[in-house]
């Protein structure tokens, strides 16, 4: 058992360290004003900041996270990922920054030693202070304790002046204080309003996208800043029974021609699906899905036109996801959020690709039954259920900076619920944000294209006649906060997206 000394409200202690329990919070330790008490270290929650600007920055992050998990630091939450301009010493490459929350039984100085060893193992050496480094790991908070020693200060003394630290730190919180530890961290802020006030004093969310602080999501070899414009995902159904265009693109030649057309029309992402997820669809095996998918994916990968575009695989099978990524797919799009294959989340964590987690109750054969269509408040319940599934992904090793959220329009929803979702995208984000600001800030995808509820509203029983309504629903979604729209008709929907983006840009500039 690890042992360290606590000196209540003193400034000197064993080896020159003062470790005091947060005065604003309940303390697990008790001592008189000048009494040193040896205590056994319990499991403590910690916050650790990450930074890198040398070599493959994302690889450095991934390696650091793996080494932390192997070193008795169990990571439970991840912040978003930020690309930032360097501070203090400005003549150096851009940094990647993030932060994690975790649980450890290591004492504070043991933890510091472990992090320093990880830095060394990943190639960090002594150099210019604030200069380039392959990895930088700093302890921001350690349980409910304020620590001062010759080698360690907690909270980290420069938190409050660094937007590139405060931004990911805020991601690790919810808008609701969820634990005594979080209450204590707020009490340790230099501002009376807590961490939220400190972030606001620096500029808060208004800083994102400005002054060298971009929130990004890694896709392939790119860092995607989704705040700049809305992305259009073109749908390629390789099935005989999809509700809109089943059977049209089963041959490799027809599929390649459709991809060429969608790319020419301006698609940013092509979503390849070889399993129908329409209501009451019959499930096919992973093997049959792969037989449909892989020949087309291999042919598409050879197309010069797809250079600079992203390919997504629409599947709920981990085996299909793994094979497709191995063949070049950049994104896994799972309508079940890991509910239909118990291996999916761990497989995606190992693949280290973006993961689209969608809300659905049941499976395609049961999602529209009466029980799965019952909601008291569809936005709140979708947000709560989707958050739970995304948390499962995060605890399986899929960091928040690789997650894309999808409220699942058309999946286990009736017409009224779909309309409520389109009206309430900001409410979904806010509800998720109560628990995790980082996950609430993830890119949001919507897929209303040609769905049955559009036909119900507009009196269009044939899916192919629903493109005007699809354009209208995409418009509502983008103005409501969607970052990606998944559509059949790329050309017309892209025009709607461009207009919405221009309106949003104009709104921000006023």
Distance CA 404, CA 307 (A): 22
Distance (Å, rounded) from C-alpha 295 to C-alpha 353? 21
Is 187 within 8 Å of 25 (Cβ atoms)? Answer: yes
Structure tokens at 110: 């043991």
Q: Which residues does residue 336 pair with via DSSP β-bridges, in sequence order?
A: none
CA dist 338 and 344 (Å) reads 5
Residue 450 and residue 244 in contact, taking contact as beta carbons nearer than 8 Å: yes
**HEC-encoded secondary structure of 151-207:** CCEECCCCHHHCHHHHHHHHHCCCCCCCCHHHHHHHHCCCCCCHHHHHHHHHCHHHH
Active site residues: 451, 486
Is the CB of residue 70 less than 8 Å from the CB of residue 76?
no
Instruction: Reply yes or no: is the peptide bond before residue 335 cis, omega within 30 of 0.
Output: no
Q: What is the C-alpha end-to-end distance of the chain, expressed in Å?
A: 59
Give the Cα separation of 327 and 122 in Å (integer).
Answer: 29
- Measured distance CA(232)–CA(487) in Å, rounded: 7
Q: How many CB atoms lie within 10 A of CB 408?
A: 26
The dihedral built from the CA positions of residue 444, 450, 452 and 456, taken in this order, carries a sign that is positive
Q: Determine phi and psi for 234, rounding to 5 degrees.
A: -90, 140
Helix (H) or strand (E) holding 469: helix 467-480
Spatial separation of the C-alpha atoms in residues 229 and 209, rounded to whole Å: 12
Query: What is the rounded CA–CA span in Å between residue 106 and residue 72?
Result: 7
* Cβ pair 319, 371 in contact under 8 A: no
In DSSP terms, 84 is beta-bridged to 95, 213
């Amino acid at each position: 058992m690890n042992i360290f000394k606590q000196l209540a409200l003193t400034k000197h202690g064993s080896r020159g360290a003062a470790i005091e329990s947060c005065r604003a919070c309940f303390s697990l330790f008790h001592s008189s004003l000048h009494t040193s008490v040896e205590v056994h270290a319990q499991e403590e929650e910690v916050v650790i900041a990450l930074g890198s600007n040398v070599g493959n920055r994302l690889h450095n992050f991934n390696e650091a996270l793996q080494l932390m998990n192997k070193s008795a630091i169990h990571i439970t939450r991840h912040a978003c990922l930020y690309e930032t301009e360097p501070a203090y010493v400005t003549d150096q490459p851009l940094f990647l920054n993030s932060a994690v929350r975790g649980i450890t039984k290591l004492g504070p100085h043991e933890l510091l030693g472990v992090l320093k060893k990880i830095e060394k193992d990943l190639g960090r050496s002594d150099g210019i202070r604030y200069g380039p480094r392959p990895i930088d790991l700093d302890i921001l908070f350690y349980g409910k304790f304020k620590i001062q020693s010759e080698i360690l200060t907690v909270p980290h003394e420069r938190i409050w002046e660094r937007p590139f630290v405060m931004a990911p730190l805020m991601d690790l919180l919810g808008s609701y204080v969820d634990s005594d530890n979080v209450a204590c961290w707020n009490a340790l802020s230099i501002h009376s309003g807590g961490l939220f006030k400190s972030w606001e004093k620096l500029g808060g969310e208004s800083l994102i996208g400005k002054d060298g602080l971009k929130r990004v999501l890694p896709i392939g070899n790119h860092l995607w800043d989704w705040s700049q414009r809305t992305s259009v995902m073109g749908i390629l159904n390789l099935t005989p029974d999809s509700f809109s265009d089943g059977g049209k693109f089963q041959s490799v030649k027809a599929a390649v021609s459709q991809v060429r057309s969608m790319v020419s029309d301006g698609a940013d992402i092509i979503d390849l699906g070889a399993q129908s997820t329409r209501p009451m669809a019959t499930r096919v095996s992973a093997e049959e899905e792969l037989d449909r998918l892989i020949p087309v994916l291999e042919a598409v990968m050879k197309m010069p036109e797809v250079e600079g575009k992203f390919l997504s695989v629409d599947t709920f099978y981990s085996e299909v996801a793994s094979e497709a990524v191995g063949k070049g797919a950049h994104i896994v799009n799972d309508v079940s959020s890991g509910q239909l294959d118990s291996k999916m989340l761990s497989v995606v964590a190992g693949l280290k690709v973006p993961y689209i987690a969608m809300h659905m109750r049941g499976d395609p054969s049961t999602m529209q039954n009466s029980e799965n269509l019952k909601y008291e408040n569809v936005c709140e319940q979708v947000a709560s259920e989707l958050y739970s599934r995304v948390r499962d992904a995060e605890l399986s090793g899929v960091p928040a900076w690789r997650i894309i959220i999808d409220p699942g329009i058309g999946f286990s929803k009736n017409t009224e619920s779909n309309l409520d979702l389109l009206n309430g995208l900001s409410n979904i984000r806010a509800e998720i944000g109560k628990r995790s600001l980082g996950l609430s800030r993830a890119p949001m995808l919507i897929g209303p294209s040609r769905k049955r509820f559009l036909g119900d509203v507009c009196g269009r029983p044939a899916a192919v006649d629903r493109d005007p309504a699809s354009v209208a629903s995409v418009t509502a979604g983008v103005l409501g906060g969607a970052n990606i729209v998944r559509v059949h008709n790329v050309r017309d929907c892209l025009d709607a997206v461009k207009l919405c983006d221009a309106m949003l840009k104009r709104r921000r500039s006023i």
